[in-house]
Amino acid sequence: MVISHSVNLQPYNTFGVSAVAAHFANIQKREELEEAITFAEVEGLPTLVLAGGSNILFVHDFPGVILHIGNSGIRWLGGFPGSTQRVRIAAGENWHSFTKLCLDKRLYGLENLALIPGTVGAAPIQNIGAYGVELADFFVELSVYDRQSRSWEVMNKSQCDFAYRDSVFKKAGKGRYIVFDVTLELSGIWKPNLNYAALGNYLGGGKPDSKMVFDAVCAIRRSKLPDPSRLGNAGSFFKNPIISDEKFTVLSKQMPDIPRFDIEEKGLVKIPAAWLLDRLGWKGGSRGAASVHRNHALVLVNPGGATGEDILLLAQEMSSSVLENFGIALEPEVQII
C-alpha cells in the first residue's frame, strides 16, 4: 500500500474546497486498511475515512491519515428466481452506477435512489434516502473493521440502528467502524414506489415501468440540484428538523401554510428545512465567497474560491436565523471536518 504525503483534498470533495491532508492512503484491500491504521497509531495521528467526498466539508487542513476507500467488486449471491436476489457490493463502488446496473438486471427497488453521489460504503453511514425510499429498505448486512475490538465483523440491520439520515456509524465514536462491503436484497418483481408527491406528479399517473421511474428521478434531481462537477456543493446541507406536534401547532398558527410530513414516531412531525430557510429569504443569499443556490435554500454552493470556513460561516448564520425566528435548531447533514 502506498501512503502519499501533503495531499490537497480539493479533487476529493464535491464542495471543491482546498485542504491539505498530511497523509493519504489509498485502500483497496482489507490488509491495506489494517496497515494504514497501524501507521497512524504508531505515528500517533488521527484518521478520517474519505470516500466520494460528497457529504463532507473540510474547514481546516487534516493533520492525520486519510483512509480513502477504493475497493471494488460486486458479487451476486443468488436468491429466489423472480422474487428476490441478494448482492454484496464493495464499499468503493459508485452508488449511482450500481443502481443503473440493478435496473439493467431487472432487479427493482433502488430507482428512487438513483443519482445520489458517492459510494456504496458511505450509503449506510447516513442511511441515504430520497423520494420516499431509504437504504435501510433493502439492507441485509455489512462487513466492517471495528477499530475498538480490532477485528472484522458482520453487522445486521438491527445492529446498524438506521433512522432518518442516521445510523450507529454516526452515533458510535467517530471513525470506530469502517465499512468494507454492503449486502442488499432486491426484488425481481416490479412495484413502483410513487408515494412521494413530486415523483407521482411528474409521472402523471398510469403504470410506469422501472426505467420510467429511474429516468424521472434523474430528471427531477437534475432540474433541482446543481451538478457538483460544475458547481461545488454537497446536496442538502441541513437535515429536515423533527419537532413535536405541540410545537407544530404553535408554528402553524403563525404560518398556516407550513408543510409537514408524518413520520413513524408518535407525537413528532418532520418539516422541510428548505421551506423555513426560503421563508427567511436565504435562496440566492451569500456571505463572502460562499452562497446559497438560487433555486434551493438547502444547498450551499462554492461558485469558486470559497474556503471551507466561508461555507461554515454561511451555514452558521443560516441556522442562527432559523433558531431566532422559529425556535428550531437545524442540524447539519454534511460532516464538518
Q: Is 176 a catalytic residue?
A: no
- Please state the closest distance from residue 308 (CB atom) to ligand FAD, in A: 13
- 151 counts as catalytic: no
By C-alpha distance, which of 252, 245, 250 is closest to 268?
245
Torsion angles phi and psi, residue 326, rounded to 5: -120, -5
Between 228 and 308, name the residue whose CB sits nearer to ligand FAD.
228
Active site residue 333: yes
Per-residue burial over 38-70, b = 16 or more CB atoms within 10 Å of its CB, e = otherwise? ebbeeeeeebbbbbbbbbbbbeeebebbbbbbe
What's the closest the beta carbon of residue 276 comes to ligand FAD, in angstroms?
A: 19
DSSP assignment of 132-187 equals TEEGGGGEEEEEEEETTTTEEEEEEHHHHT-BTTB-HHHHSSTTSEEEEEEEEEEE
Q: Spot the catalytic one: 143, 210, 236, 319.
A: 236
Determine the Cα–Cα distance for residues 56 and 285; give it in Å rounded to an integer: 21
Phi/psi region, residue 22 (left: phi>0; alpha: psi -120 to 50; beta: rest), is alpha
Where on the chain is the footprint of ligand FAD (CB under 6 A)?
14, 48-56, 69, 91, 116-119, 121-123, 125-126, 128-130, 177-179, 225, 228, 233-235, 335
Is residue 145 within 8 Å of residue 34, measured between CB atoms? Answer: yes
Of the residues 32, 111, 141, 333, only one is catalytic, namely 333
Smallest distance, ligand FAD to C-beta of residue 258, A: 22
Closest-by-Cβ residue to ligand FAD is 118
Q: Which is nearer to ligand FAD, 160 or 178 (CB)?
A: 178
Residue 251's identity, in one-letter code, is L
- Which CB sits closer to ligand FAD, 201 or 325? 201
C-beta of 122: minimal distance to ligand FAD in Å?
3
Of 165, 167, 210, 319, which is the active-site residue? 165
Residues 277 and 236: beta-carbon distance below 8 Å: no
State the Cα–Cα distance between residues 80 and 103, nearest whole angstrom. Answer: 18
- What the block records as the C-alpha cell of 296 is 434551493
What 3-state class would DSSP assign to 249?
helix
Closer residue to ligand FAD (CB): 15 or 108:
15
Which of 129, 285 has the CB closer to ligand FAD?
129
Min. distance of Cβ 124 from ligand FAD in angstroms?
Answer: 8
User: Can you read off the three cell numbers belonging to residue 10?
Assistant: 480539493
Could you tell me the smallest distance in angstroms from the CB atom of residue 249 to ligand FAD? Answer: 29
Cβ proximity to ligand FAD: between 99 and 326 the closer is 99
Report the catalytic residues.
Answer: 165, 236, 333
